[in-house]
Chain A
Amino acid sequence: MSAVTRARAHWADLTRAERGVTWFVVGFAALLLFGLLSGALAPTYFLYLVGIAGMYALLSFGLNSQWGFTGLINFSVAAFFGVGAYGTALMTAEGSPLAGGFNPLIGLVVALVLAAVLALLIGIPTLRLRADYLAIASLGLAEVVRTIVKNEGQWTNGTAGIRGIPSFFEGWPVLATFPESMPGLEIVVSPGWRTTFTVPVVDVGLEFVIPSSTLLLGTSFWRALLNVALVLAFVGLSYALLRRVHRSPWGRVLRTIRSDEDLARALGKHTYSFKMQSFVLGSLLMALAGVFYAHLNLFVSPGDLDPITTFYVWVAVILGGSGSNRGALFGGVVIVSIREGTRFLNEFAWIPVDVAPLRFLMIGVLIVLLMRFRPQGVLPPQRELIWPTAVDKAPSRPDSGVRDVKAGGGDE
């Protein structure tokens, strides 16, 4: 079988939504490439965007393993993110009011431990309660964390934030000096590079002119590249880990809890402890995103714990499809497009309003439209064995044998 037929067979296998998403991704990538080549998008900024998108993907993975797989409504995403960022910042930064100057790896460990402790503190009182109580209690406890970070200046520098956070690779053998030791590259896109497309049938000439531009790739570019490599490593590892654990018996128990907690309990599972494990796991992923953010931005402040981050991540997970990790990846990218794309809207004079509320409006409308017309998200998980609809609307006659269903495919 040649590569082409295999690709075609794969394409035929996709659902309509998956095809749509594929086209969207291809188009979006082409747009970004055009922006890069024409000089409208600086390469360093582009890499920063990739880093932020990776960070949102990590946050979405974390929320997905809580909400998507176990059905825990966690509205304290921003708190775990902030605790991760502050944990590493306090350990590593020069301007840290507490310790400072440690290796970022120690900062990473401290941040994860702090997040696990916070997850236990929030989880113990709330995970026994009704689902909607957890939503409210977690949102409130996130506010408590934010208030403490903002007001206890002797530990956290208060509203001034923490400056002087080193890059994540500070103190590593080769990578610490990698950006400085790399040579500066210069890529010249020449003005004569003119491409003309003509559509023969309707005879309309479309002309793309790429203006002359010079791309300078200096130290900051290499530093950004390193950060992207770091976030890709984080994202890849967590994706692999989540995929593995959610296929394990442990993951099956979680999905049973999501579908029907009483059923799980009737089967002899200690649901509270399973929920707690899932809650801590998701919180660790969120803190990991926070650690990456602190070393990307090199500055953290209480504003990073604003509840809006929580809702961004929620939109990403719902948009992608609750319980689907590639959906979470997709949702993370879309959220970054909304967040960063709206910044440029201020340059258009014909938009009479401030951008900040416009962003709120877009997020709000997106949530309502999604819940109204596609509550399962764009890329819902497929080939699930245990799912609410599988219990309620099971077909009376399976279209394939039980053995095939059990043997077939992954969880997504």
Chain B
Amino acid sequence: MVLLDHIASGLIFSSIIILGSIGLSLVYSIADFANFAHGDTMTVGAYSSFVTFGAIGGLGGAVLGLPLGFFVALLAGIAVAALVAVITEKVVYEGMDLDSIGMLITSIGIAFIYRAVVQMWFGADAVRYDIQALRPIEWLLPYDVRVTEHDVAIVISAAVLVTGLHVLLQYSDLGRKMRAMADNPDLARVSGIRTDRIKLWTWVIGAGLAGSGGVFLGLFNLLRPRMGFDLLLLIFAAVILGGIGSVYGAMLGAFLIGMIHELTPLLSQLGAVLPYLPDTFGLPIGNQYGSAIAFVIMVIVLLFRPQGIAGEAV
């Protein structure tokens, strides 16, 4: 079945988008602006782990085809992305007295700065982790599913991170404070919550998750200075589709957007998938339109449900 293979790669791509969209949604609801630098935060995370991995090497051992050094590099990527975001918040955003639109425009400038620094350092060409590419897992091949152990590692890691975030938000003190602040910042403040501290934690968590998403994106494709900015639109589409301000909506939106993106190639071979149609039937839409289709679907949903799937009324 061709369909199964596309669903599998949709699942992998969704995991990467989920990691990006959670952070964007958190920052959107707590710092109250659309952060256009979020995609480039992913790039920063990816390149930091690239440098770390190059410096420490594999460190022996292997989990799912990935050497232990890669996981250390992953942690380094998360840490650097979070650190960069906190520094940006302290140096740039904190002292600003602007509405959310002004902050949005500022974040575009920040995005350019991140990307320019990465490109100056590493050049515009794509690089890749020094990890042996794997063959698809043997026992899945009879089902036409071509998935490597690396892909499995991406999905499992994303699941672990998302579960961790869920536990943090629902059961920890910090999570309760964050939800309170997202709901009503002024009320949270007069209740004695130190909102500026919560905001910093939001940046750490959001940018950290974005950094991990960048690392996995680099593993899934290659590392390019533009990788994050190119993915940003899909992440925004996911967040808006799910409903701004709802982390779980963002997860759902990311899952849908990732699936739509990876299922787009099926449109040109509809006949092979759907019954009752001739096998050669297909729409003339190639896989280069994956992002475009995902985006148009988001706009159509907004027409009928402006608050998104899980969002509250605007």
Given A73-B101, A141-B295, A143-B292: A132 and B108 interface contact (C-beta under 8 Å): no
Given A360-B119, A361-B116: A367 and B108 interface contact (C-beta under 8 Å): yes
Interface residues on B, range: 35 or more
Interface residues on A, range: 35 or more
Tell me the complex Cα distance, A130–B102, Å.
Answer: 15
Contacting pair A314 B302 (CB below 8 A): no
**Does any Cβ of A come within 8 Å of B240's Cβ?**
yes
Most buried by A among B106, B112, B120: B112
Given A354-B124, A360-B119, A367-B106: A126 and B112 interface contact (C-beta under 8 Å): no
Contacting pair B106 A128 (CB below 8 A): no
Contacting pair A136 B240 (CB below 8 A): yes
Which residues of chain A are near B120, meaning CB under 8 Å? 353-354, 357-358, 361
**Does any Cβ of A come within 8 Å of B299's Cβ?**
yes
Which residues of chain B are near A151, meaning CB under 8 Å? 286, 288-289
Instruction: Classify the interface of chain A: helix, strand, loop or mixed.
Output: helix
Interface membership of chain B positions 105-132, coded 1 if the CB is closer than 8 angstroms to chain A and 0 otherwise: 1101111110111011001100000000
Name the one of A132, A133, A148, A354 contacting B302, with C-beta atoms under 8 angstroms.
A133
Tell me the complex Cα distance, A132–B239, Å.
Answer: 12
Contacting pair A143 B108 (CB below 8 A): no
Tell me the complex Cα distance, A342–B117, Å.
Answer: 17
Return the chain A residue nearest B123 by Cβ. Answer: A354
Tell me the complex Cα distance, A140–B231, Å.
Answer: 11
Return the chain A residue nearest B96 by Cβ. Answer: A372
Contacting pair B105 A314 (CB below 8 A): yes
Return the chain B residue nearest A131 by Cβ. Answer: B101
Contacting pair A364 B303 (CB below 8 A): no
Name the one of B34, B106, B236 contacting A368, with C-beta atoms under 8 angstroms.
B106
Name the one of A143, A318, A359 contacting B295, with C-beta atoms under 8 angstroms.
A143
**Does any Cβ of A come within 8 Å of B190's Cβ?**
no
Interface membership of chain B positions 21-45, coded 1 if the CB is closer than 8 angstroms to chain A and 0 otherwise: 0000000000001100000000000
Contacting pair B295 A144 (CB below 8 A): yes
**Does any Cβ of A come within 8 Å of B1's Cβ?**
no
Tell me the complex Cα distance, A365–B117, Å.
Answer: 12
**Does any Cβ of B come within 8 Å of A390's Cβ?**
no
Which residues of chain B are near A354, meaning CB under 8 Å? 119-120, 123-124
Given A147-B291, A371-B105, A375-B102: A136 and B111 interface contact (C-beta under 8 Å): no
**Does any Cβ of B come within 8 Å of A345's Cβ?**
no
Given A311-B112, A354-B120: A132 and B96 interface contact (C-beta under 8 Å): no
Which residues of chain A are near B124, meaning CB under 8 Å? 354, 356-357
Which residues of chain B are near A365, meaning CB under 8 Å? 109, 113
Most buried by A among B102, B291, B295: B295
Contacting pair A147 B119 (CB below 8 A): no
Task: Give residues in B with beta carbon < 8 Å to A.
Answer: 33-34, 92, 95-96, 98, 100-102, 104-106, 108-113, 115-117, 119-120, 123-124, 225, 233, 236-237, 240, 286, 288-289, 291-292, 295-296, 298-300, 302-303, 306, 314
Closest 10 CB pairs of A and B: A367-B109, A364-B112, A361-B116, A357-B119, A360-B116, A364-B113, A368-B109, A140-B295, A357-B116, A371-B106
Task: Give residues in A with beta carbon < 8 Å to B.
Answer: 73, 125-126, 128-133, 135-137, 139-141, 143-144, 147-148, 150-151, 311, 314, 318, 353-354, 356-361, 363-368, 371-372, 375
What are some 9 contacts across the A-B interface (CB < 8 A)? Answer: A139-B233, A140-B299, A143-B295, A147-B289, A314-B105, A354-B120, A368-B92, A368-B113, A372-B106
